[in-house]
Amino acid sequence: MTCHGRIQGQTPVYLLNSSRFTEKLIQQVHHQMLHGGVGLTMAAMHEKYWVPRLCSVVKSVQSKYFGCKRFCTTPAAIPVPGQLSEDWTTVGTAFEVMGTDFAGPIKCKIDKKRKERLTC
């Protein structure tokens, strides 16, 4: 059976949504679309075929399809943050802990006549 729509020259093939052939065809198209999801599989199916209630059929086929279950993974749980060091968590006065830069600016020779100062 073919369906005639408003687009001239296109007559998609009518398939029953409960047939085994339709399920196998949806699996094949889903595999060709590289497991792209329900929307991409439906768009590829609508190019040549017309299946009533296609969205529900594609969802049911993908839920049974082993190749697609492999890609349906849940994300890993967010790890618990580690404990902060004691220096970060103890209360103290301002400038109680300080650091000093003993290296200073580093001189780098650009060419023979001029020198330039770089700070790190």
Quick: pLDDT tens for 3-23.
Answer: 777 777 778 889 999 999 999
Residue 17 CA to residue 57 CA, distance in Å, equals 7
pLDDT(43) > 80: yes
Give per-residue pLDDT as tens, 99-113.
Answer: 677 777 767 666 666
Note the pLDDT tens digit of each residue in 21-31: 999 999 999 98
Top mean-pLDDT range of 49-63, 66-80, 102-116: 49-63
Supply angle C-alpha 111, 112, 113, rounded to 5.
100
Among residues 10, 16, 2, the alpha carbon closest in space to that of 26 is found at 16
Top-confidence residue, 1 or 82: 82
The average pLDDT across 31-36 equals 86
Q: What pLDDT shows up at residue 120?
A: 44
Torsion of CA 72, 55, 32, 9, to 10 degrees: -160
Q: Which residues contact 87 (CB under 8 A, 6 or more apart)?
A: 97
C-alpha span between 120 and 106 (Å, rounded): 8
Phi, psi of 106 (to 5 degrees): -105, 130
Question: Is pLDDT at 119 greater than 50 in this prediction?
Answer: no
The pLDDT of residue 55 is 93
* pLDDT at residue 49, as a whole number: 92
Position with higher pLDDT, 117 vs 43:
43
- Report CA-CA distances (Å) from 120 to 102, 105, 109: 12, 7, 15
